[in-house]
Amino acid sequence: MFRADRSASDSLPGPEGQEISTRGEGRSAPASQRVRIAERRPSVPPLSGVSAYSVLSALPAALLLIEAEGHIVFVNERAAAVFGEPAGALQGQNLKAIVPDLDPITSAMVGGGSRTESEISRRDGRVITIGYTLARVPTGGRSLYSFVFQDISRVKELQVERDRLLRIAAIGEALPSLLHELKNPLAAVTATVELLLEDATASSCDSREPLHAVLSEVRRMRLGFDGLSAIDRPLRSNRDAAVDHACRESCLIMASRTRNAGIRFRFNIREMPLLPLDTGVMRALIYNLVTNAVHACERGDTIKLDAWFDQEHGRFEMRVTDTGSGMTPDVLERITELFYTTKKSGSGIGLAICQRAVHGAGGEIRFASVPQAGTSVEISVPVTIDR
């Protein structure tokens, strides 16, 4: 029998050698409550017929057991699924051969428990990103280490998408004011060069030729700014405008760029009535579509642009074709995503602007491409003309 007095211990032996506390929460308990006799719980019998390997095999986490030299001695089902290979094919391999940028096992596992990321190539050609942890496994004498990992490829994709959306938000905030600051001095430069050309006499060819070159580049810069500013402007307008004139002007400006690149540029702009379309956005469409075609072409290739008004169906139509490198189906599927580009110097903005403008006007934009054969872009926008 236990005595409940101040000299008694603050804990009592419980079931299975556990101690049961008799302490109050920072103060002495009444004598009647100082000793609590715990109810004895039935002891849990040890598992029989269940091996450690069978438990590890059923774990939802991907797990490898590795010797100190890096050789895999155990692969559970989840790990085999992530690597896309049978467990038997992985067992016996050196982990360094599967995860090439992994530090040597003996040095990486010292301390253990740190989480790292790495890209690996599966046998089926897929490249995935895994997050893994290396840790020492306490054993009776054999040096084993656990390699616990998971496929985080989707997480990385979401991170990239998050960063892309943040860039979109930042550009959306800064672009209008930036373009406004650039267009004003550019307009002043254009007016000055045009005035100098008017003052130059016909005989002073030496001065007129470089002035024409400067004016051509300045106008192309202005067209490029129009191409960017269309990101927040609708194609449809409340005022009728000479769309055919704007299209010809844009094509003439782009012709100097294609000529310098050694690319043949042919355009056919048919006569049109005044249309309720924004000429600035129309210039942006031509600039972005032709620029994209130039990037896909090499010297000797051809770009062709046709634009017309379909009187019978009341639609503005435009088609741009090139004989450039073309696109694979995977690239073609993503070309209108903002900031998606396969070019080192590309912005990934142009085709996204085109699609947004055309769809915003209730129109359609269609892309067709064959690798090494060329690309075709067709635009069709419904237009109502006041008669």
CATH number at residue 250: 3.30.565.10
| 350 found inside a domain | yes
Q: Both 258 and 118 in a single domain?
A: no
Say how far apart CA 210 and CA 230 lie, in whole Å.
31
Task: Write out pLDDT tens, residues 33-52.
Answer: 544 444 444 554 555 555 77
Q: What is the pTM of this model?
A: 0.53
Q: Both 244 and 369 in a single domain?
A: yes
Mean pLDDT over residues 353-366, rounded? 91
Q: Both 306 and 284 in a single domain?
A: yes
DSSP track, 165-224? HHHHHHHHHHHHHHHHHHHHHHHHHHHHHHHHHHHS-TT-HHHHHHHHHHHHHHHHHHHH
| 387 found inside a domain | no
What is the domain extent for residue 6? 1-37
| 42 found inside a domain | no
| 122 found inside a domain | yes
Which of residues 151, 172, 199 is at a domain's end?
Answer: 151
Q: Both 122 and 172 in a single domain?
A: no
Q: Both 173 and 318 in a single domain?
A: yes
Task: Write out pLDDT tens, residues 240-261.
Answer: 999 999 899 889 888 888 988 8
More confident call, 114 vs 62: 62
Quote the crossing angle between the two packed helices 350-360 and 279-296, to the nearest 10°.
Answer: 140
| 344 found inside a domain | yes
Which of residues 129, 151, 173 is at a domain's end?
Answer: 151
Tokens of 167: 């860039």
Q: Both 11 and 86 in a single domain?
A: no
Query: What is residue 192's predicted lDDT score, i.e. its pLDDT?
Result: 77
Task: Confirm if 284 and 357 have CB atoms less than 8 A apart.
Answer: yes
Residue 309 has pLDDT above 90, yes or no: yes
Query: What is residue 1's predicted lDDT score, i.e. its pLDDT?
Result: 39
More confident call, 165 vs 9: 165
Tokens of 315: 């639609």
Q: Both 164 and 147 in a single domain?
A: no
- Report the Cα 29 to chain-centroid distance in Å: 64
Task: Write out pLDDT tens, residues 87-96.
Answer: 888 888 888 8
Task: Write out pLDDT tens, residues 310-353.
Answer: 999 999 999 999 999 999 898 888 888 877 777 665 567 778 88
| 231 found inside a domain | yes
User: By C-alpha distance, which of 156, 97, 149, 154 is closest to 123?
Assistant: 97
Which of residues 151, 176, 191 is at a domain's end?
Answer: 151
Residue 285 has pLDDT above 80, yes or no: yes
Task: Write out pLDDT tens, residues 255-281.
Answer: 888 988 899 999 999 999 999 998 888
Q: Both 113 and 231 in a single domain?
A: no
As to burial, measured by CB atoms within 10 angstroms (0-12 exposed, 13-18 middle, 19+ buried), residue 203 is exposed
Q: Both 204 and 318 in a single domain?
A: yes
Distances (CA, A) of 326 to 108, 322, 345, 354: 46, 9, 18, 19
Task: Write out pLDDT tens, residues 202-233.
Answer: 556 566 667 767 777 777 677 666 656 655 67
Say how far apart CA 66 and CA 78 lie, in whole Å.
16
**pLDDT tier for residue 122 given thresholds of 50, 70 and 90:** confident
Task: Write out pLDDT tens, residues 135-168.
Answer: 888 777 777 888 888 888 888 888 887 887 677 6
Q: Both 351 and 220 in a single domain?
A: yes
Q: Both 247 and 310 in a single domain?
A: yes
Domain count within the chain: 3
| 48 found inside a domain | no
Task: Write out pLDDT tens, residues 365-378.
Answer: 999 999 989 999 99
| 45 found inside a domain | no
Task: Confirm if 151 and 79 have CB atoms less than 8 A apart.
Answer: no
Q: What is the CATH number of the domain that holds 116?
A: 3.30.450.20
Query: What is residue 351's predicted lDDT score, i.e. its pLDDT?
Result: 86
Q: Both 98 and 204 in a single domain?
A: no
Query: What is residue 116's predicted lDDT score, i.e. its pLDDT?
Result: 80
